[in-house]
């Protein structure tokens, strides 16, 4: 009696352990810095390797530093600070795929010299591991074995790919511009779906432009540019569910001024890296139940976990907060500008039919004190919670969320009280576990004793179906149906069934 393998693959996602680490960045300045006013820090993962027991990865922190020179001029310096880190866990297996998220929790500025600044960044690392496992299943063509088959739905990993696109946008300014101080660009995914051999990713790039007018006034303009990109991915189809992430390569952003008599055009080119992963649900035929008409069978079953991936959800909300300066700080007579807008997600969860995203948004406010005639800066940290109705409510689900902050506005009252408000957009990729089971093995044991009778009267209860009765009698289902043509299964009432045993196969 021969049983053959009918194995298939499924995908499962598990969380990587969260942790924090610090990176020391030394930023060279083209001009001497008397005071650092604002810092925009944007971390990104550039490469990763999954080994047995660890995920090793490398990344860089793109820094934009706005500072005041000894001559009272504003300067802005861009640089990239490389770093390496790792996750360690016994659950990590070589050959798996990893999704890694790194965010800045805080940064501390230490001026170490006239032409360089040391910035110590505290980062939080989190992520998930994509595991593909083989599930054991059996099949047989043995004439003496009766099998009941069924189709089950399984989730498999199709593949992943990364691609960099350039998103171009323009900002028109209706007055002369003396200097472009700072550009801050962020990207968010709004939707991702599969196609025939590709995935389509749509989203938005938000760029904030800080500039100084000819009248020595600081102004801010926002540019919103949508994008939709088809990324080639072999094996993807219209049935695929897609996870997509977008990251701006901040130090690759290019901004150019073009002035004419009536206006100024700022052209911005933003390099955005898209990372996509595709999954697909497919049907697999497996043995639901089986028995032998000649032998006892030792049957083993196995359960397996797989992950169901849901469509990307965009969550939006408004946030606000306040900060009061202590008495030792100089009074605020005029806000000059805000810069270094950062956002970090601290927690995300599902409760009461809603998805909730918690985090901290921060910005540096540069202000003027008339008494001393000097510029000062202070950082505002605003905790927030935004939520939205959410259909999927599995408590064991995994949430991967990326956020951007835009339309930041800060006002001051009474010279010491700052009021902050902004908009937050969060792209949420959600998945949840699903457990199923199959017959994973069967082995023939002792042979049944040969029947020494030619007829049997079998009493069957109402509700019994043909398969269960045939399995109990150790005969083929077609024999039961052939010899009891008047019976309708499942039985509507208790019934006596007659079986005749002959010396010919059925």
pLDDT profile of the chain (506 residues), mean per 10: 90 93 90 84 93 95 90 87 94 89 91 82 94 94 94 96 96 91 95 96 96 92 96 96 94 90 91 96 95 94 94 93 93 94 91 91 95 92 92 77 95 95 95 94 92 89 94 94 92 92 59
Can you give the pLDDT at residue 506? 44
Between strands 218-232 and 198-213, the pairing is: antiparallel
Can you give the pLDDT at residue 395? 64
Contact criterion met (CB below 8 Å) for 310 and 433: no
- d(Cα 475, Cα 126) in Å, to the nearest integer? 57
Q: What is the DSSP letter of 448?
A: P
User: What's the predicted TM-score (pTM) here?
Assistant: 0.87
- d(Cα 380, Cα 41) in Å, to the nearest integer? 15
| Cα-trace Rg, the chain | 33
Contact criterion met (CB below 8 Å) for 79 and 27: yes
Between CA 405 and CA 234, with CA 130 as vertex, the angle to 5 degrees is 90
| Cis ω for the linkage preceding 346 (within 30 of 0) | no
User: Across the strands, what pairs with 195?
Assistant: 198
- d(Cα 247, Cα 43) in Å, to the nearest integer? 9
Question: Which residue shows structure tokens 């960045």?
Answer: 25
10 Å Cβ neighbour count for 333? 14
């Amino acid at each position: 009696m021969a049983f053959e393998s009918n194995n298939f693959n499924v995908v499962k996602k598990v969380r990587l352990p969260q942790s924090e680490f610090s990176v020391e960045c030394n930023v060279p300045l083209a001009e001497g810095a008397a005071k650092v006013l604002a810092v925009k820090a944007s971390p990104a993962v550039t490469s990763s390797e999954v080994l047995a027991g660890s995920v090793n990865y490398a990344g860089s922190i793109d820094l934009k530093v706005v500072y005041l020179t000894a001559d009272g001029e504003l300067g802005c310096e861009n640089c990239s600070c490389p770093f390496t880190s790792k996750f360690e866990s016994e659950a990590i297996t070589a050959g798996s795929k990893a999704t890694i998220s790194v965010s800045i929790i805080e940064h501390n500025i230490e001026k170490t010299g006239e032409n360089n600044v040391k910035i110590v960044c505290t980062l939080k690392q989190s992520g998930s591991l994509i595991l593909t496992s083989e599930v054991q299943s059996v099949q047989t063509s043995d004439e003496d074995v009766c099998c009941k088959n069924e189709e089950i739905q399984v989730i498999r990993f199709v593949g992943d790919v990364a691609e960099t696109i350039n998103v171009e946008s323009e900002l028109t300014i209706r007055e002369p511009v003396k200097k472009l101080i700072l550009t801050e660009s962020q990207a968010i995914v709004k939707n991702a779906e599969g196609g025939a051999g590709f995935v389509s990713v749509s989203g938005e790039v938000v760029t904030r432009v800080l500039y100084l007018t000819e009248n020595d006034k600081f102004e801010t303009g926002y540019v919103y540019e949508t994008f939709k990109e088809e990324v080639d991915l072999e094996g993807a189809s219209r049935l695929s569910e897609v996870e997509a992430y977008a990251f701006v390569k901040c130090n690759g952003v290019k901004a150019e001024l073009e002035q004419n008599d009536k206006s100024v055009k700022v052209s911005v080119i933003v390099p955005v890296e898209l990372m996509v992963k595709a999954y697909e649900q497919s049907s697999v035929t497996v043995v639901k139940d089986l028995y032998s008409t000649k032998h006892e069978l030792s049957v083993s079953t196995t359960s397996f976990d797989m992950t169901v991936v849901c469509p990307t959800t965009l969550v939006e909300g408004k946030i606000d907060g306040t900060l009061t300066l202590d008495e030792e700080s100089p009074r605020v007579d005029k806000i000059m500008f805000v810069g270094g807008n950062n956002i970090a997600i601290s927690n995300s969860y599902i409760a009461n039919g809603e998805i909730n995203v918690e985090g901290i948004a921060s910005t540096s406010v540069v202000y003027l004190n008339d008494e001393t005639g000097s510029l000062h800066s202070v950082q505002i940290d605003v905790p927030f919670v935004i939520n939205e109705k959410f259909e999927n409510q599995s408590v064991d689900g995994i949430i991967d969320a990326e956020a951007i902050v835009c339309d930041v506005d800060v006002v001051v009252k009474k010279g010491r009280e700052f009021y902050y408000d902004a908009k937050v957009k969060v792209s949420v990729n959600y998945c949840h576990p699903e457990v199923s089971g199959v017959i994973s093995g069967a082995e023939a044991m002792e042979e049944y004793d040969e029947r020494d009778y030619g007829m049997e009267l079998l009493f069957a209860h109402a509700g019994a179906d043909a398969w269960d009765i045939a399995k109990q009698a150790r005969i083929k289902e077609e024999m039961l149906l052939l010899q009891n043509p008047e019976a309708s299964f499942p039985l509507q009432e208790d019934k006596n069934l007659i079986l005749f045993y002959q010396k010919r196969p059925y």
